[in-house]
Structure 1
Amino acid sequence: METVYMACLIGGILYALISVVFGDWLSQAMDGVLDFLSLDGPSIFQPMTLVGGITIFGGAGLLLERYSGLGAWVVALVAVLIAIVGAIAVFFLYVKPMENSENSIAFTIGSLAGSQGEVLVPIPQNGYGEVLVKVGAGNTNQIAASYDQKPIAGGAQVVVIDVREGVLYVSELNLSI
């Protein structure tokens, strides 16, 4: 059994080293052939979690076999239990926080509907102007037209009513209520 434990430990360490050093390069070279490993199904079965569990199984089994007086089957059972606990720890302490940290600062123009902004270039009755809309921590300038077919002066506060063909259709925000 010592050979099995050693193979699991060394295999897991090699996987970690290869994925850290060559991960992006291998993914591009193989054109995403192994992408199915991280898609579909519960996220606890991510490769990092599974390989982490196998590595922990090998290390725990090796240590228990060498330094405890337990029988081979008991050592294997305890190593499996330690591996399960370790894999769960890897999932909740590494994989899950990394999934949640993958946020983008990008936005779609369609997501601007309902946003407030300020007119930078006056919007004529049947023409286009420009508005400044706050997006996350920044701002974006977008082409705008009057939703109500009424002219809107520069500096006016507006709300985006609709987005069609890359143009924000805005209406002047009446704050005197």
Structure 2
Amino acid sequence: MTLFGMSIETIYLVLLIISGSLTILYLFFGDVLEGVGEATDFLNPVLILAFITFFSAGGYILEKATTLNSFLIMAIAAIVSALLDVLLNVFVLVPMKSAEQSLSYTEKSLEGRVGKAIISIPQQGFGEVVIESYSGMISKPAASFEDTPIPEGSEVLVIEVKNGVLYVMPYKPNFK
């Protein structure tokens, strides 16, 4: 089959090369187009480029390997590409988007959290506190907020964080 004066295999191959090149460029300069993906989820540039790449690769391979009708090959390639695109989105892109936010923390986000003193905190000195988070245990140096000693194993409340040091006081739950 010919389209625009070129064979369909050539069109698939050119489309594959162009979409592959655009994918590589998107890896390097993707932050420029990040706003498009945020505004509309269905126009995510990664998914569009992946669909075109899957479609052109599938069409090219089927044209070379089978003797099926070109319209049937286009339909098969489009269906398989849409399926692969959905799988890419559900199993790769969505988990990566949520993982970016859950693995990091800021020092400001530690304020108000309850932790446990693993090294006792002396008066006007430093100890160590661990705080459980979604990404694991966060261990930070700590000092007493009220300059009172805090024994090892005590639950503590983080009042503020300055220069990477947690300023804590013994935690007294209200509902016991």
2:94 is the alignment partner of 1:96: yes
Give the alignment of 1:11-26 within 5 angstroms: 11-19=18-26, 23=28, 26=29
Write the distance in 2 (CA, Å) between the matches of 1:7 and 1:58.
8
State the Cα deviation string for residues 36-73 of structure 1 (Å, max 9, x = none).
Answer: 2332333x643332211111111222233342331x43
1:59 corresponds to which letter in structure 2? A
Match of 2:140 in 1: 140
Deviation at 1:93, TM superposition (A): 4.0
Q: How does 1:4-153 map onto structure 2 within 5 Å?
A: 4-19=11-26, 23=28, 26=29, 32-42=31-41, 45-66=43-64, 67-70=66-69, 72-102=70-100, 103-118=102-117, 119-122=120-123, 130=126, 132-135=128-131, 136-146=136-146, 152-153=148-149
TM-score, reference length from structure 2: 0.65
Conservation of the 8 A alpha-carbon contact between 1:134 and 1:140: yes
Using the TM superposition, give the Cα deviation of residue 81 of structure 1 relative to its aligned residue in structure 2, in angstroms. Answer: 1.1
SS in 1 for 2:121: strand
Is the 8 Å Cα contact of residues 49 and 95 (structure 1) preserved in structure 2? no
What TM-score, normalized to structure 1? 0.64
Q: What is the identity, as a one-letter code, of the residue corresponding to 2:75?
A: L
Deviations 1:111-159 (A, max 9, x none): 3424133351326xxxxx655321343411234323xxxx733426242
Structure 1: give runs of 5+ residues left out of the alignment. 124-128
Query: How large is the RMSD of aligned CA atoms in angstroms?
Result: 3.4
Unpaired segments ≥5 residues, structure 2: none
Q: 1:93 to 1:104 in 2, by over 3 A?
A: closer
Distance in 2 (CA, whole Å) between partners of 1:13 and 1:6 is 10
Superposed displacement of residue 172, structure 1: 5.6
Residue type matched to 2:46 in 1?
Answer: M
Aligned to 1:126: none
Does 1:159 pair with 2:160? no
